Amino acid sequence: MGSGSLSLEGRPEIMAGQPLLLQGFRGEINGTWHAATVTHCYEKQSGYTTEITLEAPDKGKEA
């Protein structure tokens, strides 16, 4: 497993570089992920959203 992305209603407390705990997804997705990039957007039509690019915590490490 390597990476993924999420789009949420605005969450100003989420910042790039922090760990995020995902729950309520398929078993292999649940767990702690690394927020690689976080973009906060405000648009008239969709309001305030937070876009997150996630990386598995062990990405880049050799087995």
Count of all residues that appear for the chain in the document: 63
d(CA 44, CA 36): 26
Identity of residue 55: E
What residue ranges do the domains of the chain occupy?
1-39
Which pair of structure tokens corresponds to residue 49? 């959203």
Q: What is the pLDDT of residue 60?
A: 53
CB 38: neighbour CB atoms within 10 A? 19
pLDDT digits (tens, 9 = 90+) for 7-27: 999 999 999 999 999 999 888
Using CA atoms of 3, 36, 52, 23 in order, give the dihedral in degrees to the nearest 10.
Answer: 60
Q: Is the pTM of this model over 0.75?
A: yes
Residue 47 confidence class, pLDDT cut points 50, 70, 90 = very high
SS3 24: coil
